[in-house]
Amino acid sequence: MGKEDFGKYKEIYRENLLRHVLPFWEKHSIDNENGGFFTCLGVDGSVYDTDKFVWLQCRQVWMFAKLYSEVEANSKWLDIAIHGADFLQKYGRSESGRWYFSLDKKGSPLVQPYNIFSDCFASMAFGQLGKITGKAEYNAIATQTFYKILDAQDNPKGKYEKTYPSTRDLQNLSLPMILSNLVMELDHILDAKVVDEQLNSVKDKILSYFYKPEHGLIMENVGIDGGFSDTFQGRLINPGHGLETLWFLMDIAERQNDKELIQKCTDAVVSTLEYGWDSEYGGLFYFMDLRGNPPEQLEWSNKLWWPHIEAMIACAKGFYFTGNIRCWEWLVKLHSYTWGHFVDEDHGEWFGYLSREGKITHHMKGGKWKGCFHVPRGVLYLWELMAKLETNRAVQ
């Protein structure tokens, strides 16, 4: 491949972001009456439910602030980000300072702050908004929320934790995975020592506990000491989470100039794709059991939008950093599947949920779990990576 290949993909991702994805959210998601965003949007953008999920509100604030920062200082994008932030400031937090999981359309709380991921994305959103506006109040919210996350990281659900203590104590990948990205997002407002300590901590935890070199895979759950648990939870593999984690680790490795870690992550990307790809119907499985047993999740064989876009980012980064041709081959394969199944250039955005065979199972563009995040972030980053490759790595 050469510059023309990188240029071709660059234009595909740029056009998808600017002409098909962002206009969909700009047109359909903004609640001008009550504030915040609607995320339960049908194929054509029609609102089919008005509940507001705090983590998705935060993600959309972050996304439009990021676009303002990295693409162009478009006042419309800044206005959208501030629109969401105003709603979150008014209604998003409980008296404890933790962020609710969901609200009704007017901002009244529906679901308690049982899930630390609302906090993680709130910190990320206000940190990015503080970065582009310079407003101390945004940075203060981001910092306060970040330290609440650290305080709660050993027991993130607190009184809402449903598992019985001490019988089978496991630790989950999600929080160290998100922290590996969140800390990088907040490096402009956190003390440099805190940033370095946290990055090294989450990197070491992921590599020492969750990554299993004998398989070349990242586990979803491990024992407190990193040991293997021969249970539904302990055997669980989520290829999408593994691939997203690996590109987060590549970003840390780039910051720390750790070429060995970049190579390890790139090799693990290929291993994860070889393991998680459905050789019969194509696409990445949602969940898998390490030993080939039936997974606990009945939706295990479905194909979801976000693992595929995260896989594409991981491949593009792996190829950009190392030139590993297998990463490029996988990127082309993933692009072909994704553009053939998820992308909707007629109405905008992407479909999110497919059967194993690749048929659309949910005729909508957003909901409780899918908002304005994985797709626009992914095509933005892919556009940027293709531009870098076009300039710096014309491999023949």
Residues 51 and 24 in one domain: no
Q: Are 109 and 176 contained in the same domain? A: no
Q: How confident is the model at residue 393 (pLDDT cuts 50, 70, 90)?
A: low
Q: Alpha-carbon distance 125 to 373, whole Å? A: 11
pLDDT digits (tens, 9 = 90+) for 298-322: 999 999 999 999 999 999 999 999 9
Contacting residues for 123 by C-beta, under 8 A, at least 6 apart: 141, 142, 143, 145, 146, 149, 182, 186
Tens-digit pLDDT profile for residues 214-223: 999 999 999 9
Helices 75-91 and 116-133, packing angle to 10 deg: 140
From 162, 181, 205, the end of a domain falls on 162
Structure tokens given for 220: 């979803």
Given this model, what pLDDT does residue 158 score? 85
Task: Check whether residue 202 and residue 337 sit in a common domain.
Answer: yes
Percent of the chain residues topping a pLDDT of 90:
94
Average pLDDT over residues 37-65: 98
Which stretch of 1-10, 83-92, 170-179 has the lowest confidence by average pLDDT? 1-10
CATH assignment at residue 9? 1.50.10.10
Judge if 66 and 24 occupy the same domain: no
Estimate to the nearest angstrom the gap between the alpha carbon of 7 and the chain centroid: 25
Same domain, 38 and 56: yes
**Distance from C-alpha of 364 to C-alpha of 45, rounded to nearest angstrom:** 8
Quick one: pLDDT at residue 370?
Answer: 98
Task: Write down the pLDDT at residue 157.
Answer: 86
pLDDT of residue 395 exceeding 50, the answer is no
Asked if residue 321 and residue 200 are part of one domain, the reply reads yes
Q: Which helix (H) or strand (E) holds 48?
A: strand 47-49
The last residue of one of the domains, among 145, 162, 179, is 162
* Residue 322 and residue 182 in one domain: yes
Task: Reply yes or no on whether the pLDDT at 396 is more than 90.
Answer: no
pTM above 0.85, yes or no: yes
- Does the pLDDT of residue 2 top 80, yes or no? no
Nearest to 316 by CA among 237, 368, 384, 218: 384
Helix 325-341 and helix 259-276, axial crossing angle in degrees, nearest 10: 50
Same-domain pairing of 320 and 193: yes
Structure-block tokens of residue 152: 């709660």
pLDDT at site 392 = 86
Structure tokens at 102: 């969901």
Q: What is the pLDDT of residues 187-198, one digit of tens each?
A: 999 999 999 999
Domain count across the chain: 2
Return mean pLDDT, the chain.
96
Answer yes or no: do 16 and 130 share one domain.
no
Over residues 212-258, the pLDDT tens digits come to 999 999 999 999 999 999 999 999 999 999 999 999 999 999 999 99
Q: Nearest 5°: phi and psi at 217? A: -130, 160
> For residue 394, what pLDDT band results from cuts at 50, 70 and 90?
very low
Q: Are residues 353 and 367 in the same domain?
A: yes
CA dist., res. 392 & res. 381, Å (int): 16
Amino acid code (one letter) for 29? S
Residue 136 belongs to domain with CATH number: 1.50.10.20
Residue 186, Cα to own-chain centre: how many angstroms?
Answer: 16
342 and 235 in a common domain? yes
Last residue of a domain, one of 131, 162, 193: 162
Note whether 241 and 177 are within 8 A (CB). Answer: yes
Q: Are residues 374 and 255 in the same domain?
A: yes
Q: How confident is the model at residue 155 (pLDDT cuts 50, 70, 90)?
A: confident
pLDDT for 115-137, tens place per residue?
A: 899 999 999 999 999 999 999 99
- 80 is in which domain, residue-wise? 31-162
SS3 218: strand
User: What pLDDT score does 154 carry?
Assistant: 85
Question: Does residue 106 have a pLDDT over 70?
Answer: yes
Cβ-based burial of 343 (10 A; exposed 0-12, middle 13-18, buried ≥19): buried
